[in-house]
Structure 1
């Protein structure tokens, strides 16, 4: 069995913001101004992909699903060297 992934709290917060923005965009009625939501989603996507946690070569592929799950369940474990909040 694989050990659980540990994500920094700021990374989980970024993912939660991305998911919330995506949900808001999906709920927006057709023809309404969605530019602000689309721009926020693009910015959050860039911040997620360039987060220092993903510095390892295959880290995104290895932990992306687990990060989305952690953000949905609003749980995360502190990364090594970080104290629990």
Structure 2
């Protein structure tokens, strides 16, 4: 069975998007490493204060999929109204 990483991007009116990264409790070394890579990319985005677009998140997921073929990635987008 494949392990997974879930990336949730929550867009709020007038605020920067919130990004969360989740893995299952019983994850492998590969899942832990991919989770860490994803968190580092999110931190880099926050440090650079770049615009977080859907395209940016999809590029992140594609990059992670290319490097970690044994993992399944889920991308969720949520819209929160103020």
Which has a greater percent of strand?
2
**Which structure's CA Rg is the greater one?**
1
Q: Structure 1 length as normaliser, TM-score? A: 0.35
Which has a greater percent of helix?
1
Q: Structure 2 length as normaliser, TM-score? A: 0.36
